[in-house]
Amino acid sequence: MKVLAINSSPNRGKGNTALVLDPFLEGMGEAGAEVELFYTKKLKINPCQGEFNCKRRTGERSDKGDQTCKGNY
């Protein structure tokens, strides 16, 4: 079994979310699950302005973030 945990706390591994999540994931790992912990705080996510001018001009988004643009070009 694979387990993907997403921690969106700004405190990452030091906050209340980690206090609850870490023992849960440890137990899942001991039970044989393949556990992956993902911190959203580490991602560079910039808001899309929805104009898509950067994509039309250059073929790429100008924000160069980790998110995927879903616009129709």
Q: How far is CA 25 from the centre of its chain?
A: 17
Q: What is the pLDDT of residues 9-19, one digit of tens each?
A: 988 889 999 99
**Res 44: pLDDT:** 78
**Res 21: pLDDT:** 95
Fill in the amino acid letter for 8: S
- Find the mean pLDDT for residues 43-63: 66
Q: What is the pLDDT of residues 27-46, one digit of tens each?
A: 999 999 999 998 988 887 76
CA quadruple 65, 44, 24, 32: dihedral sign: positive
Mean model confidence pLDDT for the chain = 80
**Res 72: pLDDT:** 46
In the beta sheet, which residues pair with residue 35? 3
